[in-house]
């Protein structure tokens, strides 16, 4: 029981910090931090299917964009966000189910899977770009072509469309969804399903010989990743009350892969760290107006692939081990010093 007390204390302190953080930040800084959290959910979705399922999907932006557009169209038609939120997760998950069925049951893998998913993303990009006419409507929502969909109804209190969630509360909601996604995926990986999925990543043929249908496990992971990416897209549409075809862009597809690579493939925490680091670095360098941020991203990616192939999380883990061993040894020496017997006055210690 004592082992869990420090973990519980850290979680409680972290939650308290999240709740009071909006009180000390300006609106611009808070909104910028909120989009970092939203994109971290997207990075987490790819980190799950790539790092643990061995599925390198170049089209994670397709599910992100579908979640964004599904929420926008549903929210405009429903007039509130509660039902639209569910639609924004279900639509990308169903799309991933349909796409993944043909990919995995067709035994398509490796580079071909990446090419297909990237092609599907670019098709969606061009499709949404070519819907600028007024005739392109779904219900009362005009798709808008390259101009996108503006004035999207943002998150409201469930059942109360008139009670819109403030930016401060929206930040807390986004952090809550990030934590829920992380914990949910962590629990899933600790289950029988997760162990089989990791085994598939290591040796798919051996898992098939053991009697497991690798196609079903990969498809399930693909659908889960699509749903999590759709959640991120839904929150992104809420963040700016706007969405456009750029959510399907090649840049967005590449960024997700960069975040995961920089943070560390094969972990759930790595993609979150990589996403925060790259977005902050891009924003900082872009504000200096010295170098093209895209050029910087390319240089960062090359540097991490060559110098830190295991990502930032490996460096942080190494530092954590060093600090833990250092303070642990000091604590042990301190304990031995105080527990050593003291000689009695006028004699030898008994």
Tens-digit pLDDT profile for residues 61-73: 999 999 999 999 9
What average pLDDT does this structure show over 145-162? 90
User: Each residue of 4-33: b (16+ CB within 10 Å) or e?
Assistant: eeeeeeeeeeeeeeeeebbeeeeeeebbeb
The tens digit of pLDDT for each residue in 207-233 reads 999 999 999 999 999 999 999 999 999
Residue 93 lies in a domain: yes
Tell me how far apart the alpha carbons of residues 12 and 2 are, in angstroms, rounded to a whole number: 16
The tens digit of pLDDT for each residue in 284-319 reads 887 777 777 778 778 878 888 888 888 888 888 777
Residue 1 lies in a domain: no
Residue 58 lies in a domain: yes
φ, ψ of residue 253 to 5 degrees: the values are: -65, -40
% of the chain with per-residue pLDDT over 70: 88
Residue 4 lies in a domain: no
What average pLDDT does this structure show over 106-110? 84
Residue 213 lies in a domain: yes
Residue 67 lies in a domain: yes
CB atoms within 10 A of CB 342: 7
Query: Is residue 329 pLDDT above 70, yes or no?
Result: no
Tell me how far apart the alpha carbons of residues 212 and 229 are, in angstroms, rounded to a whole number: 27
**In this predicted structure, what is the pLDDT of residue 108?**
87
What average pLDDT does this structure show over 120-146? 93
Number of domains in the chain: 1
The tens digit of pLDDT for each residue in 243-267 reads 999 999 999 999 999 999 999 999 9
More confidently predicted of 57 and 287: 57
- pLDDT category at 75 given cuts 50, 70, 90 is very high
Residue 338 lies in a domain: no
More confidently predicted of 300 and 120: 120
Tell me how far apart the alpha carbons of residues 245 and 266 are, in angstroms, rounded to a whole number: 30
**In this predicted structure, what is the pLDDT of residue 160?**
85
Query: Is residue 55 pLDDT above 80, yes or no?
Result: yes
Lowest mean pLDDT among 50-54, 108-112, 151-155, 292-296: 292-296
CB 264 within 8 A of CB 123: no
Lowest mean pLDDT among 12-16, 28-32, 71-75, 87-91: 12-16
Mean pLDDT computed over every residue of the chain: 87
Lowest mean pLDDT among 12-21, 174-183, 201-210: 12-21
Residue 335 lies in a domain: no
**In this predicted structure, what is the pLDDT of residue 17?**
74
**Domain, as residue range, for 263:** 9-313
**In this predicted structure, what is the pLDDT of residue 253?**
93
Q: Tell me the CA distances in angstroms from 315 to 199, 318, 319, 320, one per residue in order.
A: 26, 5, 6, 9
């Amino acid at each position: 029981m004592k082992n869990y007390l420090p973990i519980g204390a850290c979680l409680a302190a972290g939650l308290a910090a999240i709740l009071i953080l909006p009180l000390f930040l300006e609106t611009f800084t808070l909104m910028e931090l909120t989009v970092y959290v939203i994109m971290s959910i997207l990075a987490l979705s790819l980190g799950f299917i790539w790092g643990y399922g061995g599925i390198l999907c170049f089209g994670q932006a397709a599910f992100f964009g579908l979640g964004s557009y599904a929420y926008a169209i549903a929210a405009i038609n429903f007039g509130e966000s509660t039902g639209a939120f569910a639609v924004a997760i279900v639509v990308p998950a169903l799309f991933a189910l349909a796409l993944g069925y043909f990919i995995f049951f067709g035994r398509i893998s490796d580079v071909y899977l990446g090419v297909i998913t990237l092609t599907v993303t670019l098709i969606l990009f061009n499709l949404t770009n070519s819907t600028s006419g007024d005739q392109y409507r779904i219900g009362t929502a005009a798709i808008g072509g390259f101009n996108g969909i503006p004035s999207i109804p943002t998150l409201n209190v469930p059942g109360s469309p008139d009670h819109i969630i403030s930016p401060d509360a929206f930040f807390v909601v986004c952090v809550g969804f990030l934590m829920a996604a992380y914990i949910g995926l962590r629990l899933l990986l600790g289950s029988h399903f997760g162990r089989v999925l990791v085994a598939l990543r290591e040796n798919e043929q051996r898992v098939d010989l053991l009697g497991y249908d690798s196609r079903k496990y990969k498809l399930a992971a693909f659908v889960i990743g699509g749903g999590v990416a759709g959640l991120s897209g839904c929150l992104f549409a809420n963040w700016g009350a706007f969405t456009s075809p750029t959510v399907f862009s090649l840049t967005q597809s590449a960024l997700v892969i960069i975040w995961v690579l920089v943070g560390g493939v094969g972990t759930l925490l790595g993609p979150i760290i990589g996403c925060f680091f790259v977005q902050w670095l891009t924003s900082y360098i872009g504000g200096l107006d010295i170098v093209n941020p895209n050029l910087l991203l390319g240089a960062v990616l090359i540097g991490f692939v060559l110098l830190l192939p295991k990502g930032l999380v490996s460096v942080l883990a190494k530092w954590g081990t060093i600090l833990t061993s250092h303070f642990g040894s000091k604590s042990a020496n301190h304990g031995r010093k105080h527990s050593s017997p003291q000689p009695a006055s006028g004699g030898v210690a008994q």
